[in-house]
Amino acid sequence: MCGIVGYTGKKAAAPILINGLKRLEYRGYDSAGLAVTSPDGIFVEKAKGKVSELVNKLAEHGEDSPFHDSSSGIAHTRWATHGPPTTENAHPHASDRIALVHNGIIENYKALKANLVSQGYKFLSQTDTEVLALLVDSYYEGDILQAVTTALKDVEGTYGIACMSQDEPGVLIVARRGSPIVLGVGDGETIVASDASAIIKHTRQAIYLDDNDIAKIQGGDIDIMSLDSGIVSREASEIDWSPDAAEKGGYEHYMLKEIYEQPDAIENTIRGRMDMERGTAMLGGLGLSPRDMADLNRLVIVGCGTSLNAGLVGEFATEDFAGICAEVEQAAEFRYRNPIINSKDLVLAISQSGETADTLAAVREATDKGALVAGLVNVVGSTIARETGRGVYLHAGPEISVASTKAFTCQVATLLMVALKFARSRRMSVVNGRTFVQEIKNLPNLVKQVLAKEQQIAEVAERYVKYEKMFFIGRGYMYPVAMEGALKLKEISYIHAEGYHAAELKHGPIALLEESMPVVALALKGPGKEKTIGNIKECSARDARVLGIITEGDEEAKSEVDDFIEIPECRLHAAVVPATVALQLFAYHVARLRGCAIDQPRNLAKSVTVE
């Protein structure tokens, strides 16, 4: 959730580290810090707030300070877990000879701390990371690799770390367990980061560490060992997206840029995967033949947040078209409630980042229970992608905005392909399969039609800026859309928004309806529309303003609502995508008009690597 950057090479480290931190700021942004080594020792600077605050503080140091000429260092942008966001709690944490940055959680930090206190160590922060830094210090006898290796053996919990010592300038030690570390391999230099977006400007050659790997890096020399088994070899792979993909490209916010990227992102997701002739999808990464698929009894989908909402669409489509039992479950719940799983189940873990702790834990639980486990992941080389070993990459490109947009629509496109593949291995005819293929191929076009209405959606948003609470309702395929629309609105505008099944309204939530509680109702043509129109009437009768997401040209629906956004006509499993895009734009404009920090909503982090 936090961001790590490290550099060792011949260039000045600080500008490279700062640039990397800015790339990672979307992951966590309540404080930042940087440390460099020099012949005079380790120099640390930290600041509460955004990376720009750290840049201001660094500028106060003179031209001849080590911050300007040191050629190795580590840096961090933080999302608070232990202790509030203060300068003291910001990383790096350091002794007078060791500095360390850390992502993850050291679970046994209290016991380790008590032991260090008894040895005379004093603590300046409330963090678990300072405990790890001083633990390394306590084992340090002139060999930083040895000290980190020994310290990590005492640690329970998760970490991605970068560490250095005053006596070994130019040497970085990095290690991972549960929190990603990627090494960008350059010419006589290495850039270390928790996320490839911080290294792509310098190199496309990336080595992803595995859990329990520890590496010693100096300039371009990289030695990787496993804490369990000595020297290991990890191949470099090529990052397949360009540096431009991680830039704002003229848009005011990453979120808006990514909303607009959706037609291309979905094209990339489905490219080479549609077989029109046979009316099916080709998902080679699943490693399942039609016969294997026909043999499966159940699809179990796990994920969190937006990925969970996409999973609901997958459940509905798989049951609807393939006639196979499908379930979607919050990943943490799946892990802890001891689910019934067997070898005839395919467990599909959905995660944009591929690093979400709860989803990863669910993957491990399903693997241990003997299920076939596959990942539906965006970030290539991420932990879930590697641990599942089979699955489908989204190819949506880097998603920087904390509020997920293009990942959702690409997940839905992929889940429709999965449902189609299941369906064709069972009862769906080739003719119906071809219609389904055509519908999936048409998704980018549907999204473009909604994007063309941005101005109109922005005008609608103006009428909803003043509210502090809102309901989103839908039925069938529009229920996950209501959930996702509410999630987008609440996370970036701080309006209290709740997604409900439209039928559920009468069972309690209706008590809240009044003039100050508008309702966004998904009332597209198709099964369930008339019932939702009935619910809209109930809302209007209680003075709630209603924004209808309706089918283009549906005059009946228009007459029932106060405001509307029209979606091109299509079957409802496909309409999920354009309807969600309309709600993404609605949320974006409401948040923009309320002056919110859209790309950096409070308390959130892009990738939730703690439980």
Q: Name the one range near ligand F6R by CB under 6 A: 8-16, 34-42, 266-274, 350-358.
A: 350-358
**Shortest Å, Cβ 412 to ligand F6R:** 13
In the window 466-505, what residues touch ligand F6R (CB under 6 A)?
487, 491
Our finding on whether 307 is near ligand F6R (CB under 6 A) is yes
Q: Name the one range near ligand F6R by CB under 6 A: 84-92, 149-157, 304-312, 422-430.
A: 304-312
Nearer residue to ligand F6R within complex by CB, 18 or 362: 362
Nearer residue to ligand F6R within complex by CB, 304 or 428: 304
Our finding on whether 351 is near ligand F6R (CB under 6 A) is yes
Q: Return phi, psi of residue 260, to 5°.
A: -75, -20
DSSP secondary structure, 318-347, as one string: IIIII--EEEEEEHHHHHHS-----TTEEE
Residue 448 appears among annotated catalytic residues: no
Q: Return the number of other C-beta atoms located less than 10 Å from residue 480's C-beta.
A: 27
- Cα 98 to its chain centre, rounded Å, is 32
In the window 396-455, what residues touch ligand F6R (CB under 6 A)?
403-404
Q: Name the one range near ligand F6R by CB under 6 A: 38-46, 156-164, 302-310, 387-395.
A: 302-310
In the window 233-292, what residues touch ligand F6R (CB under 6 A)?
none
Which residue is nearest to ligand F6R, using beta carbons? 305
Query: Which residue of the set 50, 525, 529, 606 is catalytic?
Result: 606
**Shortest Å, Cβ 311 to ligand F6R:** 10
Which string of b and e fits 262-286 if b means at least 16 CB within 10 Å? Answer: bbebbbbbbeebbbeeebbbebebb
Our finding on whether 352 is near ligand F6R (CB under 6 A) is yes
d(C-alpha 470, C-alpha 95), whole Å:
50
Nearer residue to ligand F6R within complex by CB, 203 or 307: 307
Nearer residue to ligand F6R within complex by CB, 151 or 598: 598
Length reported for the chain: 611
Q: Name the one range near ligand F6R by CB under 6 A: 166-174, 300-308, 514-522, 548-556.
A: 300-308
CB 177 within 8 Å of CB 202: no
Q: Return the number of other C-beta atoms located less than 10 Å from residue 40's C-beta.
A: 9
Our finding on whether 305 is near ligand F6R (CB under 6 A) is yes
**Shortest Å, Cβ 350 to ligand F6R:** 7
Our finding on whether 306 is near ligand F6R (CB under 6 A) is yes
Q: Considering only residues 356, 388, 425, 493, which one is a binding residue for ligand F6R as defined by CB under 6 A? A: 356
d(C-alpha 585, C-alpha 130), whole Å:
42
Name the amino acid, one letter, at 267: E
Residues ≥6 apart with Cβ < 8 Å to 590: 461, 464, 465, 489, 493, 495
Q: Return the number of other C-beta atoms located less than 10 Å from residue 227's C-beta.
A: 15
**Shortest Å, Cβ 94 to ligand F6R:** 31
Per-residue DSSP letter, 106: B
CB-based burial label for 109 (10 Å; 0-12, 13-18, 19+): buried
Residue 606 appears among annotated catalytic residues: yes
Nearer residue to ligand F6R within complex by CB, 134 or 407: 407
**Shortest Å, Cβ 526 to ligand F6R:** 26
- Cα 57 to its chain centre, rounded Å, is 30
Q: How far is CA 212 from CA 299, 365, 522, 534, 589, in A?
A: 31, 19, 47, 57, 44
In the window 522-581, what residues touch ligand F6R (CB under 6 A)?
none
Q: Considering only residues 359, 388, 551, 584, which one is a binding residue for ligand F6R as defined by CB under 6 A? A: 359
Q: Name the one range near ligand F6R by CB under 6 A: 3-11, 305-313, 319-327, 563-571.
A: 305-313
CB 519 within 8 Å of CB 547: yes
Query: Which residue of the set 2, 163, 570, 596 is catalytic?
Result: 2
Q: How far is CA 205 from CA 189, 237, 603, in A?
A: 12, 6, 33
**Shortest Å, Cβ 486 to ligand F6R:** 11
**Shortest Å, Cβ 113 to ligand F6R:** 30
**Shortest Å, Cβ 499 to ligand F6R:** 13
Our finding on whether 184 is near ligand F6R (CB under 6 A) is no
Q: Return phi, psi of residue 403, to 5°.
A: -75, 120
d(C-alpha 58, C-alpha 67), whole Å:
7
Nearer residue to ligand F6R within complex by CB, 576 or 608: 608
Q: Return phi, psi of residue 437, to 5°.
A: -60, -45
d(C-alpha 352, C-alpha 366), whole Å:
19
- The packing angle between helices 128-139 and 144-154, to 10°, is 130
**Shortest Å, Cβ 108 to ligand F6R:** 26
Nearer residue to ligand F6R within complex by CB, 190 or 359: 359
Q: Name the one range near ligand F6R by CB under 6 A: 345-353, 451-459, 535-543, 549-557.
A: 345-353
Positions annotated as catalytic residues are: 2, 606
Residue ranges binding ligand F6R (CB under 6 A): 304-307, 351-353, 356, 359, 403-404, 487, 491, 607-608
